[in-house]
């Protein structure tokens, strides 16, 4: 194959390639519909990519579609059973469905696969919060914040746990930290509204 054909072949591949980074950035920026569109295109471009299905699952979960999200997370886990982040994704879907035992098992597996995955502790705390075990949630999420102070959702869920326990000062502190780290997060508007009501 001559150089021109190689160049054309590579270029064609790039045009059809998935763009996981773009999908994730759209999610971080709170552009959920655009993220779903991009992630869907990623899956169509690379249907056997675990990462493509994982990102689409996260986008659909953020869009409030846990059933569809679960389908793609399950496919991601099938394609890459050793991924800790995919197990966390499965746990997040289970939390939305109020399937507590399934969520905890997925988080436990995620921790076994990668004990440095900071998301495990964060979503263990989120699960405890969802189960209304507020004191334990505060303890778990405080440890998560101490271990990963720049993780925005550690602060977000810890603020919610303190809010549930009627700790206004700590609620404000962690919500403000969340907004400072992730000002474009999809929860930013809700957090700003809660802060106004507390102040």
User: Do 15 and 90 reside in the same domain of the chain?
Assistant: yes
**Degrees, nearest 5: CA angle 94-109-155:** 65
pLDDT in tens, 51-63: 999 999 999 999 9
Task: Give phi and psi for 13, each to the nearest 5.
Answer: -65, -40
User: Do 128 and 88 reside in the same domain of the chain?
Assistant: no
| Structural domain ending residue among the three candidates 48, 82, 116 | 116
User: Do 86 and 167 reside in the same domain of the chain?
Assistant: no
User: Do 141 and 100 reside in the same domain of the chain?
Assistant: no
User: Do 159 and 175 reside in the same domain of the chain?
Assistant: yes
pLDDT at 188 over 80: yes
Structurally, the chain folds into a number of domains equal to 2
Q: Please give the average per-residue pLDDT across 90-102, as a whole number.
A: 97
Structural contact between residues 176 and 162, judged by C-beta atoms closer than 8 angstroms: no
Average pLDDT, the chain: 91
User: Do 133 and 199 reside in the same domain of the chain?
Assistant: yes
pLDDT at 7 over 50: no
CATH no. for residue 190?
1.25.40.10
What range defines the domain where residue 151 resides? 124-199
Around 13, how many Cα atoms within 13 Å sit in the side-chain half-sphere? 6
* Residue 20's pLDDT band (cuts 50, 70, 90): confident
User: Do 64 and 155 reside in the same domain of the chain?
Assistant: no
Q: Model's pTM, two decimal places?
A: 0.86
Structural contact between residues 53 and 79, judged by C-beta atoms closer than 8 angstroms: yes
User: Do 79 and 32 reside in the same domain of the chain?
Assistant: yes
């Amino acid at each position: 194959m001559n150089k021109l054909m190689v160049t054309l072949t590579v270029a064609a591949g790039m045009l059809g390639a998935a763009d996981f980074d773009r999908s994730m950035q759209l999610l971080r920026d709170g552009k959920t519909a655009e993220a779903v569109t991009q992630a869907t295109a990623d899956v169509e471009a690379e249907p056997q990519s675990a990462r493509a299905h994982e990102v689409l699952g996260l986008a659909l979960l953020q869009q409030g579609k846990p059933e569809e999200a679960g389908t793609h997370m399950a496919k991601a886990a099938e394609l890459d059973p050793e991924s800790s982040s995919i197990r966390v994704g499965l746990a997040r879907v289970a939390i939305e469905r109020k399937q507590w035992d399934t969520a905890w098992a997925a988080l436990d597996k995620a921790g076994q696969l990668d004990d440095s995955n900071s998301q495990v502790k964060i979503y263990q705390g989120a699960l405890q919060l969802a189960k209304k075990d507020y004191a334990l949630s505060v303890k778990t999420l405080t440890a998560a914040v101490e271990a990963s102070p720049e993780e925005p959702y550690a602060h977000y869920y810890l603020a919610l746990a303190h809010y549930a326990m009627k700790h206004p000062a700590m609620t404000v502190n962690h919500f403000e930290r969340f907004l400072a780290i992730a000002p474009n997060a999809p929860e930013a508007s809700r957090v700003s509204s809660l802060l106004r009501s507390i102040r």
